[in-house]
Amino acid sequence: MTITIGLVYVALLALGVVYALLASLAGWLGDLHGAGDIHVDPSGHLDAGDAHPVTGTVIATFITGFGGGGTIAHYLLDWPTGPGLIAAAGSGTALAAAAFFVLELIFSHTQSGSEFRAGEAEGRIAEVITPIPADGLGEIAYVIKGQRQRSSARTSDGAAVPKGRLVVIERLVGPTAYVRLQEE
Judge if 64 and 97 occupy the same domain: yes
Classify 130 as helix, strand or coil.
Answer: strand
Q: Which of 110, 142, 170 is the last residue of a domain?
A: 110
Please state, rounded to an integer, the average pLDDT across all residues of the chain.
82
For residue 10, the model assigns a pLDDT of 92
pLDDT tier at 40, thresholds 50, 70, 90? very low
pLDDT of amino acid 51 = 56
Same domain membership, residue 125 and residue 105: no
Alpha-carbon distance of 72 to 111, in angstroms, equals 38
Which of 110, 141, 161 is the C-terminal boundary of a domain? 110
| Domain-terminating residue out of 68, 94, 110 | 110
**What's the CA gap between 88 and 65, in Å, rounded?**
7
> In terms of domains, do 32 and 92 share one?
yes
CA 159 to chain centre: 43
Contact 107, 43 (CB under 8 A): yes
Q: Are residues 103 and 122 in the same domain?
A: no
- The answer to whether the Cα torsion of 140, 118, 47, 16 is positive or negative is positive
Domain that holds residue 54: 5-110
User: Rounded CA gap, 41 and 92, in Å?
Assistant: 22
pLDDT band at 109 (very low <50, low <70, confident <90, very high): low
Same domain, 91 and 11: yes
Do residues 58 and 125 share a domain? no
Q: What is the pLDDT of residue 28?
A: 63
